[in-house]
Amino acid sequence: MGDYKNMWENLDMDLDKHDILCSALPESFGEIYLTQKNRPESMNYFNYALAEVHGARIEELQKSKENGKKVVGTFCVFVPDEVIFAADAIGVGLCSGSQFWIEDGEKVLPRNLCPLVKAFVGAKISRTCPYFQSCNMLVGETTCDGKKKAYEILQEYMPIHVMDLPQMKKEKDFEQWQQEIKIFIKRMEELTQNKVTVKRLKEGIRLANRKRAVLKRLYDLRKNIPSPISGLDALLVSQVAFMDDPDRFITKTEQLCDELEERVKNGIPNTKKRIMITGTPMAIPNWKLHSIVEALDAEIVVEETCTGTRYFENQVSEEGNTLDELIKNIAQRYLNIHCACFTPNTGRMEDILEYVKEYKIDGVIYYNLSFCHTYAIEYKQVEKILKDKDIPLLNIETDYSEEDIGQIKTRIEAFLEMI
């Protein structure tokens, strides 16, 4: 990494504390990622993107800001990128997967709360996340009790706009979500001083669609036996997608997919168990479950999570010649994301069964971040539909700590032997 000390200082970061964070990341990345054998060449870009996640990318953000661009931080796949693009702003995902930030998060939040929420709040209040420090505004949403209330704490540190996501999918909820998107557009226009026109919003939709399409292409390639890419590497690509410049990300991921297609042609089937992960998201550097599973005789070939399929499934229709029509299209796609925050959420059950077939799944691991109530309660439904089809399922509830790694490994070993 280059010398970014000045930049970090200008971002009002706690440099000493940040040094500790920076010193831990390369080691764990090296151990988990760089020891993988026979990785695609094109993963080099994503290795670089990860290595420079607090460096080169942050530098780009500062340069864009100097040229008048605004940066907004988001925490959820429900916030429509289309609007951020249309307002000529930059969006960055602020969810965090690091145990490093838990301690600071617990200074202002209850301990028995989801680690993802504790980590992102800790990241802000400790001033050790350059993404947070680069943001002109945060965009929250009412997807779960933990995040919803944590935004009230973040609000003391920086401006935040919260989108009121309906908790159901009645007809009127689609209306109400369109209204929320309109309010968000207005707020983005105020922030950026750029008008969201029909033309710009269409361009935004196109860009977001292209980004989703390339992720879909990547995931489709994983349907091959064997998958031409490890679950770990696919996860890294998804994680980088939340931070990176979208155009560059698309180009680099297309290149990766080209290479993977070649691999598929020359692929030699293996006997690894094909695993689906379903549940809660995995933000950088949360590679815990993937690294455990793939160190055994198994490969993760799909994640039905917000850092997986929920991020890219379904496109926004580009049809329409008015803002209202385009906003309706956006609302339609986003409210059809099957997050456990909705009641009911039967669409997720259909997705899971569909993926089991499409990705030729041998077993499913339900991944639940500790204290995430919505996914934890929905487990019983997933258990039922998979049991009906005789598909093996393992429930893992965990946080970001390393304490339970041995125990999880033992349980997954037993699970793999059984299937």
Task: Count CB neighbours of 242 within 10 A.
Answer: 22
Q: Does 145 bind a copy of itself (CB under 8 A)?
A: yes
Stretch that binds a copy of itself, among 74-82, 170-178, 198-206, 236-244 (CB under 8 A): 170-178
> Is the CB of residue 410 less than 8 Å from the CB of residue 380?
no
CA gyration radius for the chain? 21
Among 149, 217, 223, 411, the residue binding a copy of itself under the rule CB under 8 A is: 149
The residue (of 253 and 370) whose beta carbon lies closer to a copy of itself is 370
> Is the CB of residue 313 less than 8 Å from the CB of residue 334?
no
Residues 6 or more apart in contact with residue 108 via CB below 8 angstroms: 121, 125, 153
The residue (of 14 and 145) whose beta carbon lies closer to a copy of itself is 145
In the shown chain, the binding pattern of residues 354 to 393 toward a copy of itself, with x for contact by CB under 8 A and - for none, equals ----------------xx-xx-xxxxxx------------
Q: Does 170 bind a copy of itself (CB under 8 A)?
A: yes
The residue (of 341 and 412) whose beta carbon lies closer to a copy of itself is 341
> Is the CB of residue 228 less than 8 Å from the CB of residue 264?
yes
Q: Does 197 bind a copy of itself (CB under 8 A)?
A: no
Stretch that binds a copy of itself, among 46-54, 265-273, 317-325, 335-343 (CB under 8 A): 335-343
Q: How far is the CB of 149 from a copy of itself (least distance, A)?
A: 4
- Compute how many residues bind a copy of itself; rule: CB under 8 A: 44
Q: How many Å apart are CA 376 and CA 395, to the nearest integer?
A: 9
Stretch that binds a copy of itself, among 186-194, 296-304, 307-315, 340-348 (CB under 8 A): 340-348
Q: How far is the CB of 92 from a copy of itself (least distance, A)?
A: 22
Q: Does 398 bind a copy of itself (CB under 8 A)?
A: no
Among 21, 56, 108, 323, the residue binding a copy of itself under the rule CB under 8 A is: 108
CA distances from 64 to 59, 114, 134, 138, 340 (A): 9, 33, 11, 17, 36
Q: How many Å apart are CA 42 and CA 111, to the nearest integer?
A: 40
The residue (of 167 and 407) whose beta carbon lies closer to a copy of itself is 167
Among 10, 167, 322, 336, the residue binding a copy of itself under the rule CB under 8 A is: 167
Q: How many Å apart are CA 403 and CA 69, to the nearest integer?
A: 42
Q: Does 148 bind a copy of itself (CB under 8 A)?
A: yes
115 cis-preceded (ω within 30 degrees of 0):
no
What tokens does 23 get?
């010193």
Phi, psi values for residue 130, rounded to 5°: -65, -20
226 cis-preceded (ω within 30 degrees of 0):
yes
> Contact residues for a copy of itself (CB under 8 A)?
108-110, 112-113, 142, 144-146, 148-153, 155, 162, 164-168, 170, 172-173, 176, 179, 183, 340-341, 343-345, 370-371, 373-374, 376-381, 397
